[in-house]
Amino acid sequence: DIVLTQSPDSLTLSLGERATISCKSSQSLLYSINNKNYLAWYQQRPGQPPRLLIYWASTRESGVPDRFSGSGSGTDFTLTINTLQAEDVAVYSCQQYFITPRTFGQGTKVEIK
Amino acid sequence: QVQLQQWGAGLLRPSETLSLTCAVYGGSFNGYYYSWIRQPPGKGLEWIGEINHSGSTTYNPSLKSRVTMSADTSKNQFSLKLNSVTAADTAVYYCARGQILHSVWGQGTLVTVSS
């Protein structure tokens, strides 16, 4: 199985600050035929199901604010939340869909100071 | 707007069978894959498997021996059965639409396995 390791496990920032979350994969998620990275990011607010934020490592899902951005390739990926808002308090998880079984990172909890 | 609504027993004894159903409302059932994903308390998400409208399935090898998924196109529903449950199967179980990307999710069902 592909193992996704996120860091940090938790993050406490002030409103308006930038949050940066790392996701490292145990193997490359870049498919050379189409040059796409098979990685997604999800947001899970307390008591709610996950919400798809980013796919193909950097494509924002429809309706996702542009303060959320994804970057990276191969085995190293980053989710950035610019200008942190109160509603961004959540757990953020990366997911690989390169091969089955599809696997998720352990999650990063983002809180406000 | 597509919505998924799920239901099933929330409290099971060890060795019993977990059974959950998810209904698709407001959109086409055919032409999509549907997935089951679970989240143990305080832990990360775990993919259980997927099924399409015609019943083609792929399961997580870690659960494959105990999992059965089915689809009922006449009711726009799909189901999950997990047999011989133990305390390790205690989790919130989610249904979701999509094979590789999950853009629509059910509300989640907490299943607790306890004697």
B47-72 pLDDT tens trace: 999 999 899 999 999 999 999 999 99
Tell me the torsion sign for CA atoms A68, B42, B111, A4.
positive
| Measured CA distances, B91 to B33, B38, B39, B64, B111 (Å) | 22, 6, 5, 17, 6
Q: Sort out which chain B residues have CB atoms less than 8 A from A55's CB and list them.
A: 101
Q: How many CB pairs under 8 A join A and B?
A: 44
Q: Sort out which chain B residues have CB atoms less than 8 A from A97's CB and list them.
A: 100-101
Quick one: average pLDDT of B102-114?
A: 96
pLDDT at A66: 96
Is B1 within 8 Å of chain A by CB? no
User: Does the pLDDT of residue B99 top 90, yes or no?
Assistant: no
Quick one: average pLDDT of B71-86?
A: 96
Interface of B with A in 71-110 (CB under 8 A): 94, 96, 100-103, 105-108
Residue with the two structure tokens 């993919």:
B47
Q: Is A86 helix (H, G, I), strand (E, B) or coil?
A: helix
User: Does the pLDDT of residue B98 top 90, yes or no?
Assistant: no
User: Does the pLDDT of residue B34 top 90, yes or no?
Assistant: yes
At B100, the pLDDT band (50, 70, 90 cuts) reads confident
Minimal C-alpha gap between B51 and chain A (Å) = 13
Minimal C-alpha gap between B96 and chain A (Å) = 10
Report the mean per-residue pLDDT for chain A.
97
pLDDT at A85: 97
Q: Is the peptide bond between A65 and the residue preceding it cis, with omega within 30 degrees of 0? A: no
User: Does the pLDDT of residue B84 top 90, yes or no?
Assistant: yes
In whole angstroms, give the CA distance from residue A78 to residue A83: 16
Distance of CA A51 to the CA centre of its chain: 11
Minimal C-alpha gap between B16 and chain A (Å) = 25
CB nearest to A97's CB, from B44, B61, B101: B101
A38, A96 contact by CB (below 8 A): yes
Over residues A10-56, the pLDDT tens digits come to 999 999 999 999 999 999 999 999 999 999 999 999 999 999 999 99
The share of chain B scoring above pLDDT 70, in percent, equals: 100
The share of chain A scoring above pLDDT 90, in percent, equals: 100
Q: Do A61 and B103 make contact, defined as CB atoms within 8 angstroms?
A: yes
In whole angstroms, give the CA distance from residue B90 to residue B40: 6
Minimal C-alpha gap between B72 and chain A (Å) = 24
Report the mean per-residue pLDDT for chain B.
96
